[in-house]
Amino acid sequence: MIEIVNLSKRYGRHLAVDEISFEVQRGEVVGFLGPNGAGKTTTLRMLTGYLPPSSGAARIAGLDIFRESLEVRKKIGYMPENVPLYIEMRVKEYLRFRGALKGLSGSKLRTRLGEVMETCGLTHVRRKMIKTLSKGYRQRVGLADALIHEPELLILDEPTNGLDPNQIRAIRRLIQDLGQEHTILLSTHILSEVEMTCNKVVIIDEGRVKAADSPLNLISSMRRAGRVTMELKIAPEVGETVLPTLDNVTKVTSEPLQDGWTRFSVFVAPNTDTRIRLAALAAEKGWPLRSLARRNANLEEVFVELTRKD
Amino acid sequence: MRTFRILFFKELKSYFLSPFGWLICGFAALMQALSLSTTMKGFLDSPRSESLVFATFQAPTFWFYFLFLFPVLTMRLFSEESRAGTLEGLLTAPVKTWHVVLSKYFASYVTYLILWIPAFFHFKLFTIITNVPPPFSSGELVGVFSILALMGALFIAFGCLASCLTSSQIIAGVVCVGILFVHFLLGLITFFYGDQIDAAPFFSFISSREHLATFSRGLIDTRPIIYYLTTTSFTLFITHHLLDYRRWKP
- DSSP letters of A197-265? H-SEEEEEETTEEEEEE-HHHHHHT-GGG-EEEEEESS-HHHHHHHGGGSTTEEEEEEEE-TTS-EEEE
Pick left, alpha or beta for residue A268 (phi over 0 → left; psi -120 to 50 → alpha; otherwise beta). Answer: beta
Q: What is the pLDDT of residues B131-185, one digit of tens each?
A: 888 888 888 889 999 999 999 999 999 999 999 998 899 999 999 999 999 999 9
- Residues B84, A216: Cα–Cα separation, whole Å: 39
Q: Evaluate the CA torsion angle A127, A129, A134, A135 in order and state its sign.
A: positive
- Residues B123, B136: Cα–Cα separation, whole Å: 9
Q: Across the beta sheet with A153-157, what order do the strands follow?
A: A76-79, A153-157, A183-188, A29-33, A200-205, A208-213
Distance (Å) from the alpha carbon of B6 to chain A's nearest alpha carbon: 7
> What count of other Cβ atoms lies within 10 Å of the Cβ of residue A263?
16
Please give the pLDDT value at position A309: 65
- Chain region(s) in chain A for CATH 3.40.50.300: 2-220
Distance (Å) from the alpha carbon of B109 to chain A's nearest alpha carbon: 21
Q: Residue B109: CB partners within 8 Å, gap ≥ 6? A: B152, B153, B156
Decide if B19 touches A, using CB distance below 8 A.
no
User: What is the average per-residue pLDDT within B219-246?
Assistant: 91
- B114 or A271: whose pLDDT is higher? B114
Please give the pLDDT value at position A287: 85
- Chain region(s) in chain A for CATH 3.30.70: 227-294
Decide if B5 touches A, using CB distance below 8 A.
no
Contacts of B92 in chain A (CB under 8 A): 48-50, 73, 76, 78, 80
Domain spanning A227-294, CATH architecture: 2-Layer Sandwich (3.30)
Residue A261 phi/psi, 5° resolution? -90, 170
Please give the pLDDT value at position A310: 58
A61 neighbors A75 (Cβ within 8 angstroms): yes
CB contact under 8 A, B3 and A101: yes
**Residue of A51, A70, A88 lying closest to B94 (CB–CB):** A70
Residue type, position B87, single letter: L
Domain spanning A2-220, CATH architecture: 3-Layer(aba) Sandwich (3.40)
Contacts of A90 in chain B (CB under 8 A): none
Q: What is the pLDDT of residues B75-87, one digit of tens each?
A: 989 999 989 989 8
Distance (Å) from the alpha carbon of B86 to chain A's nearest alpha carbon: 5
Q: Give the 3-state secondary structure of chain B.
A: CHHHHHHHHHHHHHHHCCHHHHHHHHHHHHHHHHHHHHHHHHHHHCCCCCCHHHHHHHCHHHHHHHHHHHHHHHCCCCHHHHHHCHHHHHHHCCCCHHHHHHHHHHHHHHHHHHHCHHHHHHHHHHHHHHCCCCCCCHHHHHHHHHHHHHHHHHHHHHHHHHHHHCCCHHHHHHHHHHHHHHHHHHHHHHHHHCCCCCCHHHHHHCCHHHHHHHHHCCCCCHHHHHHHHHHHHHHHHHHHHHHHHHHHCC
> What count of other Cβ atoms lies within 10 Å of the Cβ of residue A243?
21
Task: Share the mean pLDDT of chain B.
Answer: 89
**Residue of A52, A98, A100 lying closest to B248 (CB–CB):** A52
CB contact under 8 A, A145 and B3: no
Please give the pLDDT value at position B8: 94
**Residue of B2, B94, B250 lying closest to A73 (CB–CB):** B94
A9 neighbors A51 (Cβ within 8 angstroms): yes
| A184 three-class SS | strand
**Residue of B3, B18, B92 lying closest to A50 (CB–CB):** B92
Mean pLDDT by runs of 10 across the 310 residues of chain A is 86 85 87 84 88 87 86 90 89 93 90 90 89 88 90 88 80 83 85 81 84 77 67 82 78 82 80 77 84 75 71
Q: Own/partner pairs for B174-182, CB < 8 Å, 24+ apart?
A: B174/B71, B176/B70, B176/B71, B176/B74, B176/B75, B177/B67, B177/B68, B177/B71, B180/B67, B180/B70, B180/B71, B180/B155, B181/B67
Residue type, position B222, single letter: T
Distance (Å) from the alpha carbon of B126 to chain A's nearest alpha carbon: 40
Contacts of B104 in chain A (CB under 8 A): none
- Residues A138, A118: Cα–Cα separation, whole Å: 15
User: What is the average per-residue pLDDT within B69-97?
Assistant: 90
CB contact under 8 A, B89 and A74: no
Please identify among residues 96-155 of chain A the ones whose CB lies closer than 8 Å to any CB of chain B: 97-98, 100-103, 105, 145
- Residues A192, A182: Cα–Cα separation, whole Å: 21
User: What is the average per-residue pLDDT within B113-121?
Assistant: 92
Burial class (CB in 10 A: 0-12, 13-18, 19+), B132: exposed
Q: Give the 3-state secondary structure of B61-107.
A: HHHHHHHHHHHHHHCCCCHHHHHHCHHHHHHHCCCCHHHHHHHHHHH
Highest average pLDDT, of A121-130, B125-134, B232-241, comes from B232-241
